[in-house]
């Protein structure tokens, strides 16, 4: 074997050492880069958590709007939007007005075409229990008169409804009606008077005649000459509103849901 030149072994050894040191330094740099990357990730997570903490918890949801209290309408076809779309009737028009003006009330129409005062008296308790109204509008009796029923029976039924509503803590508006003159002056005048008599005796609000704004306008009625047209409904709604609005403020507290 040929001998190494003088100094060659030292130079080789130095190179090997340099390679080893370079490898160690490279490994250390890679390890540091890996560690820094992990720290950056952790730091990023921590920063995100910090930002989240600084923003604080989400604000509480706004409280639900209190439910609107019910104005229960116990009526017949004159309140049930007979032969019209429901939204065209005076009850629906008043409901839209209450909502538009931000009133804490809503109309609940429990009217039935053909209903008599006896029918209303029979179902008033169930309607009160279901809807728990703050106000009750009683528009019944017209079909009693058209059938020529005894006035004392109509009076007794109206009293039953008024007293049931009052016992439930609701305010009451009695809405009266007139009959055509062909029923004779004695019966028609006594019929008209009984609504006011019941209202005064029971100490509740009273609107004498539902159809007063349109009673003498033939064009305001459908061909049967009994039921108002859609075009007449806003005038009826305005007429009822004049009697209803004073009962809305201050709102009754009894019967609240």
CA dihedral 90, 79, 240, 209 (to 10 degrees): 140
22 is catalytic: no
Q: Confirm whether 117 is a catalytic residue.
A: no
The active-site residue, picked from 77, 79, 111, 117, is 77
Find the catalytic residue in 53, 64, 219, 224. Answer: 224
pLDDT digits (tens, 9 = 90+) for 92-110: 999 999 999 999 999 999 9
Predicted local distance difference test score (pLDDT) of residue 58: 54
Contacts of 176 (CB under 8 A, 6+ apart): 141, 192, 195, 196, 206, 207, 208, 209, 210
CATH number for the domain running over 69-248: 3.40.50.1110
Task: Please check the confidence at residue 40 and state whether its pLDDT lies above 70.
Answer: no
Pick the catalytic residue: 76, 111, 227, 239?
227
pLDDT at residue number 67: 82
| Range from 26-30, 156-160, 179-183 carrying the lowest mean pLDDT | 26-30
**Domain spans, the chain:** 9-51, 69-248
Mean pLDDT check: name the lowest of 34-38, 61-65, 116-120, 169-173. Answer: 34-38
Model pTM?
Answer: 0.73
pLDDT in tens, 43-95: 444 433 343 344 455 555 545 666 889 999 999 999 999 999 999 999 999 99
224 is catalytic: yes
- Across the chain, mean pLDDT equals 82
């Amino acid at each position: 074997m040929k001998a190494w030149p003088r100094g060659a072994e030292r130079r080789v050894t130095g190179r090997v050492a340099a390679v080893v040191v370079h490898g160690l330094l490279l490994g250390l740099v890679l390890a540091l880069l890996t560690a820094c990357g992990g720290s950056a990730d952790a730091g990023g997570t921590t920063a995100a958590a910090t930002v989240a903490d600084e923003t604080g918890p989400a604000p509480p949801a706004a409280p639900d709007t209190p439910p609107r209290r019910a104005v229960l309408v116990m009526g017949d076809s004159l309140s049930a939007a007979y032969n019209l779309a429901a939204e065209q009737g005076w009850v629906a028009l008043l409901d839209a007005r209450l909502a538009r003006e931000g009133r804490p009330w809503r109309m609940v129409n429990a009217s039935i075409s053909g209903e008599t005062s006896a029918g209303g008296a029979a179902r008033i308790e169930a309607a009160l229990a279901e809807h728990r109204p703050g106000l009750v509008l009683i528009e019944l009796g017209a079909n009693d008169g058209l059938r020529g029923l005894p006035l004392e029976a109509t009076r007794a039924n109206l009293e039953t409804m008024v007293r049931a509503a009052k016992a439930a803590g609701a305010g009451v508006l009695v809405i009266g009606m007139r009959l055509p003159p062909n029923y004779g002056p004695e019966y028609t005048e006594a019929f008209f008077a009984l609504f006011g008599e019941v209202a005064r005796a029971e100490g509740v609000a009273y609107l004498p005649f539902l159809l007063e704004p349109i009673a003498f306008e033939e064009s305001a009625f459908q061909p049967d000459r009994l039921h108002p047209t859609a075009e007449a409904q806003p005038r009826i709604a305005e007429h009822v509103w004049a009697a209803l609005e004073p009962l809305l403020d201050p709102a009754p507290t009894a019967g609240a849901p």
